């Protein structure tokens, strides 16, 4: 890019801001790098850690859709939990790999939604999962999602189907 | 029962031996307790950590069937990896809970096997999963399992079907 | 060796009970095995995971001293947190290793205590740490520990010094 | 803010690139967000996970100094491991918090170096640690670091002392 033309303050600001993903059409993109903590002695990413990558992507997706999980949790109004995860591991990821998690809202119901997620390394599909996320009350019972959330999910689903 | 009648040496030996699960009929039992590391801010076990519990149980199952994963890995002969996990979360586990993972071999193929696992708290089913474990060569390609392993799995499967 | 003489029910009971550590003199013993989740691509236990092993041992130590962390946490009365950890890594642990965490109470103060912990593989010292655990109120401020806890810690410290 | 003026391709490129930290003077900055996986039932980041944050920052620091950990590891030439970590926890981090890890090289020796790291939330210091990282041969013995690495560390240390 012909040299860093940013001011020192802009650079400090950029470095101090965690990565945030975003939408391209109805698909949410979330990039991450593989660190030592993610790998195991077989030299590849430990299988449970793909679910961590996918949760980071879903949390970012909710945040970018204006949904404040921490606020709702702290107010005792409820929490999203995963009710089912069906994940296929196709190729292993390795230390230092740059991955992107692609997420799409597939179905929206009163108290849950279905999200499809793919972990990509460039054009290679490493893993993909169908996740059912259910909204639960503080007592752990299925609960209707806040109306604004339902509307946000419906909007994201329509965006994808365009 | 009615006072610790063990000798000090027997007690030291018992305390220095990690838990090992075992078989009752064709079902492998593996008990564990929930620690802080397993929980999240929602007050329950984080969803990816059930896959850790299940992997511990599978590793113990293999060990008790005479299968030495570390030896095979270090010899560069191959490694078991999970090719698919379909997990349903039914009730949350919490800090200090005593859990038991029940594992059963459902199908045995040349280069893979299908294992059904349930995470129980007493008689309550908290989560259950169907796991496809594939044997891969050091280069990451599907590979026929060692003959003794195939035989061990076949034996465990028959035991369950009795 | 020479046949399992336990009754089937006793065996089921034993398999369904998670490991619990215990005291030999003033030293708490807690055994565990290294699983895939604990290792990293360098083939050894990832450095942060020793802190998990040590926390499991401390939680077991508190439980066996009659201290109910979950009850106190749920009652909103406070929580133990680590204020400082100084850990030295001396030799690496590997997959399948059988480890024992040895813990000793070194100092007891009104709102904190100092615990020394060693991770052993047989007679080899793999890592050792000095941990300062502080008792905090639900609002996160230092708080005097419940009297029974102070007494329990004092007793354990005296036991060690015998 | 006034419309996204990036082209769709530039946006896709940006979203597909994981965060990378960087240097301001001799201090390396690495930002991250707290996800569910990082927290525990006490509602705060689990103490061992700060070591994960710090390792991500150190790996990024090495990468940006031109040091290829994965390449050296795969070539069997050696690996950096932590020999000692002394960490003080001052204030808890919570779900969704935006953190920055600040890292500085303090001392450089033939086979090790000393790194000071702080985890900040804005201007608040949450945790700080002194980390001794040792370079080990594939057989696990202390080994002189590659000359270019030593020079890179020396350069970073001088930069900080300016």
ipTM (interface pTM)? 0.93
**Hey, which residues of B are catalytic here?**
40
Is pLDDT above 70 for B79?
yes
Residue among D69, D81, D77 at smallest CA distance from D135:
D81
Specify the pTM.
0.95
Residue among B64, D57, A51 at smallest CA distance from C4:
B64
Tokens of A98: 């740059």
State the CB neighbour count (10 A cutoff) for residue A111: 17
Exposed e or buried b for every residue in D100-110, given b needs 16+ CB within 10 A?
A: bbbbbbeebee
B43-70: pLDDT as tens digits = 999 999 999 999 999 999 999 988 888 8
**What domains can be seen in chain B, in order of their start residue?**
19-161 (3.10.129.10)
* Residue of D40, D60, D68, D97 marked catalytic: D40
Helix/strand/coil (H, E, C) string of D45-105?
ECCCHHHHHHHHHHHHHHHHCCCCHHHHHHCCCCEEEEEEEEEEECCCCCCCCEEEEEEEE
Q: What percentage of chain B has pLDDT greater than the value 70?
A: 96
D39-69: pLDDT as tens digits = 999 999 999 999 999 999 999 999 998 888 8
Nearest C-alpha in A relative to B137? A42
For residues C73-94, give the mean pLDDT: 94
Residues of B with CB under 8 A from a CB of C: 8, 11-12, 15-19, 21-22, 24, 29-33, 35-37, 52, 55-56, 59, 63, 69-70, 73, 94-96, 98-100
How many angstroms away from the CA of A80 is the closest CA of chain B? 9
D2-18: pLDDT as tens digits = 445 567 788 889 999 99
The per-residue pLDDT for B5 is: 58
Q: pLDDT higher for D86 or B2?
A: D86
Residues of C with CB under 8 A from a CB of B: 8, 11-12, 15-19, 21-22, 24, 29-33, 35-37, 52, 55-56, 59, 63, 69-70, 73, 94-96, 98-100
The per-residue pLDDT for D21 is: 97
| Phi, psi (degrees; rounded to nearest 5) at D71 | -60, -45
Tokens of C41: 């691509």
């Amino acid at each position: 890019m012909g040299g860093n033309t940013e001011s020192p303050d802009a650079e400090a600001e950029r470095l101090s801001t965690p990565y945030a993903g975003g939408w391209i059409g109805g698909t949410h993109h979330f990039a991450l790098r593989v660190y030592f903590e993610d790998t195991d002695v077989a030299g590849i990413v430990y299988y449970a850690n793909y679910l961590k990558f996918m949760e980071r992507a879903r949390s970012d997706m909710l945040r970018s859709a204006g949904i404040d999980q921490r606020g709702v949790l702290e107010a005792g109004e409820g929490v999203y939990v995963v009710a089912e995860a069906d994940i296929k591991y196709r190729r292993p990821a390795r230390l230092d790999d740059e991955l992107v998690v692609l997420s799409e809202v597939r179905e929206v119901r009163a108290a849950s939604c279905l999200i499809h997620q793919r972990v990509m390394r460039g054009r290679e599909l490493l893993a993909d999962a169908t996740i059912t996320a259910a909204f639960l009350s503080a007592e752990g019972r299925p609960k209707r999602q806040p109306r604004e959330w339902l509307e946000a999910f419906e909007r994201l689903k329509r965006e994808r189907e365009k």
